[in-house]
């Protein structure tokens, strides 16, 4: 060791062994050789080769003579272990070493450093690690190298091109993350690395393999690291930008191979994904790689920093590649298999890929691209059709675009007879219909619309017909039976001369169905021919038909029309499948259920054979005997059949709820909702109806809504899931940021046959169980109602029975009508529900203008919220500054305890809500307020009596009274306020909202204190109007009371006619009118008292009401009821006592009654026993005098009648008809056996009295017909008529004038005002009821008798033809039987008796009786030709008729 240093110098310094340095040797060689440029370049290349083959950085640095460099080891710098690794001072020495060595080697320093560092990077990557990712140790080493390379780059001592070229020489060991780190640290960009590869094909393969592994790694790690996501995003952005830039984009120096590589890699990745999904997408590692690549198409990955045009071109290219990938399926395969390609059955990753492509393109461009590809290229039909399903399900705006596309295809097909367009259109339609009616009309509906009318595509020519049926015939070998059934049951409309084309096709289709063992006869009554499911067995389909029929029967109470039609036109199916399924033996319930009622209804309609029914009854009896033995097994076996489908639905709903953690994932959630829809079909146990059934009205019994146990279980599961989903989603993001999951869920509910069951369950929950619902249920159901309102245009109307007597309601209005305010509990629930619904809507659709919110909110709901808020919170009644809150905090609603009152007040004061109330549809009008207030039940009201009175005063006089009518108020018009109150009271009394009404109850009129409170307000208004009228009008009383104007308007609005229903409605309306009149001050009937002139009050309106309406419905024969009569005279006394001359006012009023309304006076006579004490006492007390003259006349007439029956007769006072009325009313009280005795004294009375008395007797006789009184009453009425008639015949007084009365008759015309119109019409019955009392000699001598008898006979026939015989003729026939006639109650028998009487009378009558017969028979000759012939022939035999007389023709 010690000799070494000495030996070195000696050797070098010796004369023979002198050694020179490496520099000196090189310098000497250069001097000795001639300069050769080629040799110099070759030498440099050799040096570089030597360097590359021996790249030991440590040895290289040891050649540097500086002592500090000798101490520096590069491995330590790479490893990062020493202090020098972080020392910035070491970097200059490294640069110096590279510079010196490059100078020594004669190569550029950048080339040298790049080569060395490429080798170092390769060494780092060669250590064992992940296929594409670096380990933590590798990252540290690479980080040190990157710092050095960045320093070299900063000093222009690093060649990027050389580095990239050297890097690719060991590409098999090169890790993708290392390349990414070089890019992120700005050493070399990805573009430079990829572009420098010498072989594009090898480059494509390497990048494809590494991207697959990267995608798999990204999905394997949960959650994926930021590095992997950034790497994938960066590579994708680079590939898109290079592969899909504009062709005119100038990139000097950039080879075209980069664009080709980028395109090839992207295509290979998508092809790999599609091949994987087509083969087996369930393989874990493969599906992870595919899932990772599908994430590339989301906006935040591929759109990053790229120009929009590049992304659009990439997405368009992707869609083209998807649709044209592996086009091996033929059209025939698509026709057979497309039901398996629905949205729900398509792989989730594939639908996600579709959705992301469509989001980037937009629905319109997506549909256009689909059209272009189908027209120009061979396609993969599975991808095309599943892509179409995704488009129409996830993008509602695309539905109309698809419909328009189909229409264009059909037009083009029939214009050019283009088969490809026809095939494409049918495939598209069938695929879209697989997704349900709320996406696309059912196939049956579309086929009927397209070909079922004269406007169909095929109706232009015979060639079009041939084209259509040729096409349909070609489909027969391939298409499913469902579609052939549609074509057969809904065939194209074909002219009769081309009917053979249709019959040929139907024969072919039926033959094919026979081959497939599908029977047309076994098609269910409610089977959906457009369903994509398998055809059910007849037995299973019959069970479903029975359940549906019972459901419809529950709602309507009638045999469903499909059942009736099947019993006639489809008897094989009806008898062999439907009835056996209906009549399955079972243990009958103690209380008959809907099934029992349905069976009994069919039996009464003779729709069940007796043998089958008897066998069913016997089997049920046997089942009842076996009940103890089979009860336990039945309980054990029943649940097993239904639990499995319900469990699958429950699992699907739980998976959907798990997705609510990120409710913005539209594509994932929409796919899961489609799965829920599929599971729902199985759990529901019924087939979906076709579109026509869904558009029918839904019948719901609001008072007794019932559901079958299985149906309720399914609906409850869905409603609970919706509520839970809403709460879960709202706990993460507010409603406005959630995806439209709720819309998809609601469409699922609405698109199934269970929708009526959903509404029925909502009726149960809201109308019957509302106060017991929890806060979560209230919020969830409120949101559900909002989304149902959003879909109102697609929903059928609801017929809720008593809630909408005038017709049906749309679904939102029906649901809001279920929120009642009758009691404290229901009113508070209404507040909660309406608050939740409105708040949710305003949060969910905060970006919508207020005018558009009526699509989501029912006006009824908004009005109920206003009503409840104003009623509950006095602070809401006072104007206060609105809270200008940016938005409601929906998160507060999701708390376990919600302060509903504070929430309601906050919503009320919110500026956005107050702006909403300015929309006209949402005004709470005075009429709306009255309607809601009338429902309140005071004994259960949240307000006390005092608080309720104060609220009424504020609402009417402070709020609505001064409000303009345009805003729902009264414009300060008290009459208008009174008119609305009267009209709404009448509606309320007639509706089932009043009292405890049931659907089968009788008319309910008042009875609740809630009604009484509102009536009290009406009484206050009437008094105020009465007082104001006296002051304002003075002497003028021409204006009628507002009450009568309302009555008149309402009565005019009722339908006119003689039908029973019209008559009953009018009768009910008049009962309410009378009821209100009795509740108001009696002065309303009389009019305002006069302050100056003693003229009669204005009673015209009341007189008109009596003459036109009350006398027809509210009277007993010729009188009004006791209550209205007493009320009138109370009003008369009131007016008289307030006038200057009471007697004069009374006399003028009653005198006017004699000519304008005589029924008031006859009514007073009937009720005189109770009226006289009141009149006499009140008059004497106030006027200190006897009754006025006209009241005295009534008193005298009553005394005359009493004296007449007590054998102390006195002359009858005038007018005679009043005395006759008093006498008749008194005679009715006499015992039957004494009637004739008393009436024999009539021989001394005046003719006027006798005629009037007979008139009253006839009216009473007709009343006995109509009211069906007992035999004694009828016989008594008949005796009175007979006795008066015989008295007049004895005195030879004509009584026929009563059957020829007209209002123009000065003497007796007023009698027509004393009888209802129906009594006047029925005078022919009364006339011929008296046949047995006519004296033959007297009637023959009476010249007018034949004319009257024929007139009555013709009117009798007219009544028979008009149907009056249904209510009257049986009673008339009964009267004839009582008289000894042998008639058996037939209406024809009375006419027969009358006809025989006339035919016998005609020959006996003198000739002058036939003078006007031609005029009488004009227009009625066909009523009875034999009678007309006998009358006219008798007239022609008149001797005065000259056959030879020249006729006067002109």
Average pLDDT, 10 consecutive residues per value, the chain (1450 residues):
40 44 50 60 64 49 39 45 47 76 80 83 77 82 82 81 81 79 82 81 87 83 73 86 69 64 90 85 65 79 61 90 90 89 85 88 91 91 92 86 93 92 93 83 88 85 90 91 85 88 90 80 58 53 80 78 81 83 83 85 88 86 65 41 69 85 71 79 59 61 84 90 88 80 84 83 92 90 92 83 70 91 92 92 80 82 94 86 55 64 87 85 92 89 90 92 90 90 87 50 43 84 75 48 86 72 82 88 74 65 88 76 92 87 89 90 91 90 84 90 78 86 85 72 80 88 73 77 84 83 78 85 85 76 83 86 56 42 53 86 80 79 82 62 37
One DSSP character per residue, 113-174 reads: HHHHHHHHHHHHHHSS--SSS--HHHHHHHHHHHHHHHHHHHTT---HHHHHHHHGGGTTT-
Q: What is the pLDDT of residue 1069?
A: 86
Tally the C-alpha atoms within 13 A of residue 1120's C-alpha that lie toward its C-beta. Answer: 28
One DSSP character per residue, 272-323 reads: HHHHHHHH-TT-HHHHHHHHHHHGGGSHHHHSTT--HHHHHHHHHHHHHHHH
Cis amide prior to 223 (ω within 30 degrees): yes
Q: What is the pLDDT of residue 1412?
A: 75
Q: Where are the alpha helices (DSSP H) in 1080-1183?
A: 1083-1086, 1100-1105, 1111-1113, 1122-1137, 1142-1156, 1158-1166, 1168-1183
CA distance 1104 to 1091: 25
- Name 488's Cβ contacts closer than 8 Å, sequence gap at least 6: 506, 509, 510, 520
Q: What is the pLDDT of residue 830?
A: 94
Looking at residue 1191, what DSSP letter applies?
H
CA distance 388 to 338: 11
Contact status, residue 721 vs residue 655, Cβ threshold 8 Å: no
Per-residue burial over 775-784, b = 16 or more CB atoms within 10 Å of its CB, e = otherwise? bbbbbbbbbb
Tokens 């949060």 belong to residue: 843
Q: SS3 for 1376-1414, per residue?
A: HHHCCCCCCCCHHHHHHHHHHHHHHHHHHCCHHHHCCHH
Q: What is the pLDDT of residue 15?
A: 41
Tokens 């076709």 belong to residue: 690
Quick one: angle between helices 1189-1205 and 1216-1228, nearest 10? 50
Q: What is the pLDDT of residue 803?
A: 62
Looking at residue 34, what DSSP letter applies?
P
Tokens 């409170």 belong to residue: 1013
Contact status, residue 1103 vs residue 1156, Cβ threshold 8 Å: yes
CA distance 1310 to 1164: 17
Tokens coding 1134: 């009131």
Please choose, from the candidates 940, 819, 815, 818, the residue with its C-alpha nearest in 3D space to the C-alpha of residue 868.
Answer: 819
Length of the chain: 1450
Tally the C-alpha atoms within 13 A of residue 498's C-alpha that lie toward its C-beta. Answer: 16
> Please, is 315 exposed, middle or buried when counting C-beta atoms within 10 Å of its C-beta (0-12, 13-18, 19+)?
buried
Tokens coding 50: 């030597």
Q: What is the pTM of this model?
A: 0.68
One DSSP character per residue, 349-403 reads: HHHHHHHHHHHHH-HHHHHHHHHHHHHHS---HHHHHHHHHHHHHH-THHHHHHH
CA distance 1230 to 1209: 16
CA distance 1206 to 1202: 6
Cis amide prior to 1032 (ω within 30 degrees): no
Tokens coding 46: 């050799």
User: Apex CA 71: angle with CA 69 and CA 73, to 5°?
Assistant: 85
Locate the DSSP E strands across 676-802. 698-699, 798-799
Contact status, residue 835 vs residue 865, Cβ threshold 8 Å: yes
- Name 149's Cβ contacts closer than 8 Å, sequence gap at least 6: 113, 117, 158, 185, 187
CA distance 94 to 596: 101
């Amino acid at each position: 060791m010690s000799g070494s240093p000495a030996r070195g110098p000696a050797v070098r310094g010796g004369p023979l062994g002198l050694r020179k340095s490496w520099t000196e040797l090189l310098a000497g060689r250069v001097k000795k050789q001639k300069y050769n440029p080629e040799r110099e370049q070759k030498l440099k290349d050799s040096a570089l080769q030597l360097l590359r083959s021996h790249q030991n950085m440590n040895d290289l640095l040891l050649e540097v003579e500086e002592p500090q460099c000798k101490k520096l080891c590069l491995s330590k710098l790479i490893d990062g272990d020493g202090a020098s690794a972080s020392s910035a001072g070491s970097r200059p020495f490294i640069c110096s070493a590279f510079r010196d060595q490059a100078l020594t080697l004669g190569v550029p320093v950048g080339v040298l450093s790049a080569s060395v560092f490429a080798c170092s990077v390769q060494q780092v990557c060669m250590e064992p690690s992940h296929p594409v990712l670096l380990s933590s140790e590798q990252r540290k080493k690479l980080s040190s190298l990157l710092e050095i390379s960045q320093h070299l780059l900063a000093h222009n001592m690093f060649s990027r091109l050389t580095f990239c070229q050297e890097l690719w020489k060991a590409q098999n060991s090169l890790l993708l993350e290392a390349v990414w780190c070089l890019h992120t640290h700005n050493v070399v960009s990805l573009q430079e690395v990829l572009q420098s590869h010498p072989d594009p094909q090898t480059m494509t393969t390497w990048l494809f393999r590494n991207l697959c592994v990267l995608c798999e790694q990204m999905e394997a790690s949960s959650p994926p690291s930021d590095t992997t996501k950034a790497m994938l995003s960066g590579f994708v952005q680079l590939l898109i930008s290079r592969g899909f830039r504009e062709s005119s984009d100038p990139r000097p120096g950039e080879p075209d191979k980069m664009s080709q590589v980028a395109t090839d890699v992207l295509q290979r990745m998508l092809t790999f994904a599609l091949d994987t999904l087509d083969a087996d997408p369930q393989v874990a590692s493969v599906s992870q790689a595919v899932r990772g690549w599908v994430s590339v198409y989301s906006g935040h990955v591929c759109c990053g920093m790229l120009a929009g045009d590049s992304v659009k071109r990439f997405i368009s290219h992707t869609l083209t590649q998807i649709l044209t990938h592996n086009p091996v399926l033929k059209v025939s395969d698509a026709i057979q298999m497309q039901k398996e390609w629905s949205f729900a059955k398509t792989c989730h990753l594939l639908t996600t890929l579709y959705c992301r492509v469509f989001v980037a393109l937009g629905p319109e461009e997506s549909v256009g691209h689909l059209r272009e590809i189908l027209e120009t290229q061979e396609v993969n039909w599975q991808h095309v059709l599943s892509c179409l399903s995704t488009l129409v399900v996830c993008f509602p705006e695309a539905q109309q675009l698809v419909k328009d596309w189909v229409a264009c295809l059909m037009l083009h097909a029939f214009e050019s007879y283009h088969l490809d367009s026809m095939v494409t259109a049918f495939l598209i339609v069938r695929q879209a219909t697989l997704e349900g009616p709320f996406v696309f009309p059912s196939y049956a509906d579309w086929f009927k619309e397209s070909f079922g009318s004269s406007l169909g595509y095929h109706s232009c020519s015979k060639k079009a017909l041939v084209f259509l049926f040729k096409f349909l015939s070609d489909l027969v070998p391939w298409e499913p039976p469902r579609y052939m059934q549609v074509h057969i049951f809904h065939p194209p409309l074909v002219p009769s001369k081309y009917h053979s084309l249709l019959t040929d096709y139907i024969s072919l289709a039926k033959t094919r169905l026979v081959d497939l063992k599908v029977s047309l006869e076994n098609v269910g009554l409610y089977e959906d021919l457009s369903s994509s499911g398998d055809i059910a067995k007849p037995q299973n389909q019959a069970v479903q038909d029975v359940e549906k029929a019972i459901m419809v029967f529950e709602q309507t109470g009638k045999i469903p029309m499909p059942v009736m039609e099947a019993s006639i036109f489809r008897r094989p199916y009806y008898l062999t499948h439907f009835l056996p399924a209906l009549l399955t033996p079972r243990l009958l319930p103690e209380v008959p259920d809907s099934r029992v009622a349905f069976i009994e209804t069919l039996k009464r309609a003779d729709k069940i054979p007796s043998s089958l029914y008897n066998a069913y009854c016997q089997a049920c009896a046997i089942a009842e005997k076996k009940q103890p033995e089979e009860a336990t097994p039945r309980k054990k076996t029943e649940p097993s059949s239904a639990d499995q489908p319900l469990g699958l639905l429950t699992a699907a709903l739980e998976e959907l709820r798990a997705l609510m953690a990120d409710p913005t994932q539209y594509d994932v959630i929409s796919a899961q909702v489609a799965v829920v829809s599929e599971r729902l079909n199985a759990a529901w146990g019924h087939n979906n109806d076709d579109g026509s059934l869904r558009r029918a009205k839904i019948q719901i019994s609001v008072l007794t809504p019932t559901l079958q146990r299985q149906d309720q279980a399914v609906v409850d599961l869905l409603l609970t899931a919706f509520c839970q989903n809403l709460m879960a989603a709202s706990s993460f993001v507010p409603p406005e940021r959630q995806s439209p999951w709720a819309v998809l869920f609601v469409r699922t509910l609405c698109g199934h046959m269970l929708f009526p069951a959903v509404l029925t369950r909502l009726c149960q929950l809201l109308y019957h169980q509302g106060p017991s619902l929890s806060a979560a249920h209230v919020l969830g159901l409120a949101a559900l109602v909002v989304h149902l309102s959003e879909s109102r245009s697609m929903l059928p109307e609801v017929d809720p029975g008593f809630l909408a007597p005038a017709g049906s309601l749309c679904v939102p209005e029906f649901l809001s009508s279920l929120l009642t305010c009758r009691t404290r509990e229901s009113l508070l629930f209404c507040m909660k529900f309406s608050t939740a619904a409105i708040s949710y809507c305003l949060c969910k659709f905060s970006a919508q203008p207020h005018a558009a919110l009526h699509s989501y909110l029912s006006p009824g709901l908004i009005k109920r919220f206003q009503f409840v808020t104003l009623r509950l919170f006095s602070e809401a009644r006072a104007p206060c500054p609105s809270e200008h809150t940016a938005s409601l905090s929906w998160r507060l609603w999701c708390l376990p305890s919600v302060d509903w009152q504070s929430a309601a007040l906050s919503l009320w004061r919110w500026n956005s809500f107050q702006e909403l109330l300015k929309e006209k549809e949402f005004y709470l009008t005075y009429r709306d307020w009255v309607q809601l207030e009338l429902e309140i039940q005071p004994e259960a009201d949240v307000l006390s009596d005092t608080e309720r009175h104060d609220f009424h005063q504020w609402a009417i006089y402070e709020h609505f009274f001064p409000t303009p009518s345009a805003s729902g108020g009264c414009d300060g018009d008290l009459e208008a306020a009174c008119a609305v109150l009267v009209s709404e009271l009448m509606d309320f009394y007639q509706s089932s909202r009043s009292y405890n009404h049931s659907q089968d109850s009788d008319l309910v009129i008042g009875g609740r204190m809630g009604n009484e409170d509102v009536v009290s307000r009406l009484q206050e208004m009437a008094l105020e109007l009465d007082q104001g009228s006296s002051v304002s009008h003075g002497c003028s009383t021409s204006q009628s009371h507002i009450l009568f104007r309302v009555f008149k308007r309402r009565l005019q609005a009722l339908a006119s006619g003689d039908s029973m229903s019209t008559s009953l409605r009018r009768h009910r309306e008049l009962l309410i009118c009378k009821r209100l009149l009795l509740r108001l001050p009696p002065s309303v009937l009389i009019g305002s008292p006069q302050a100056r002139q003693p003229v009669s009050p204005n009673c015209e309106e009341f007189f008109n009401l009596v003459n036109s309406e009350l006398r027809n419905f509210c009277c007993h024969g010729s009188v009004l009821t006791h209550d209205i009569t007493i009320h009138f005279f109370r009003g008369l006394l009131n007016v008289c006592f307030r006038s200057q001359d009471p007697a004069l006012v009374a006399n003028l009023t009653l005198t006017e009654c004699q000519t304008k309304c005589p029924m008031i006076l006859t009514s007073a006579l009937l009720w005189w026993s109770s009226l006289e004490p009141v009149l006499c006492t009140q008059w004497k007390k106030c006027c200190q005098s006897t009754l006025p003259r006209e009241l005295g006349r009534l008193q005298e007439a009553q005394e005359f009648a009493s004296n007449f029956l007590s054998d102390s007769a006195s002359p009858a006072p005038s007018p005679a008809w009043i005395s006759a009325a008093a006498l008749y009313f008194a005679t009715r009280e006499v015992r039957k056996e004494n009637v004739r005795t008393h009436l024999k004294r009539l021989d001394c009375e005046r003719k006027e009295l006798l005629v009037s008395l007979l008139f009253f007797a006839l009216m009473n006789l007709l009343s006995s017909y109509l009211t069906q009184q007992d035999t004694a009453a009828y016989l008594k009425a008949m005796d009175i008529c007979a006795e008066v008639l015989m008295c007049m015949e004895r005195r030879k007084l004509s009584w026929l004038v009563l059957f020829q009365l007209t209002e123009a008759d000065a003497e007796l015309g007023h009698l027509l005002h004393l009888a209802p119109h129906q009594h006047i019409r029925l005078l022919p019955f009364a006339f011929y009821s008296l046949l047995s009392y006519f004296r033959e000699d007297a009637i023959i001598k009476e010249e007018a008798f034949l004319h009257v008898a024929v007139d009555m006979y013709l009117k009798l026939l007219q009544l028979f033809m008009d149907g009056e015989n249904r209510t009257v003729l049986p009673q008339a026939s009964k009267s004839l039987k009582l008289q000894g006639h042998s008639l058996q109650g037939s209406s024809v028998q009375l006419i027969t008796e009358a006809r025989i009487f006339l035919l016998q009378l005609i020959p006996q009558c003198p000739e002058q009786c036939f003078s006007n017969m031609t005029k009488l028979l004009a227009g009625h000759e066909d009523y009875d030709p034999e009678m007309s012939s006998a009358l006219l022939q008798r007239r022609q035999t008149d001797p005065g008729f000259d056959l030879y007389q020249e006729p006067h023709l002109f």
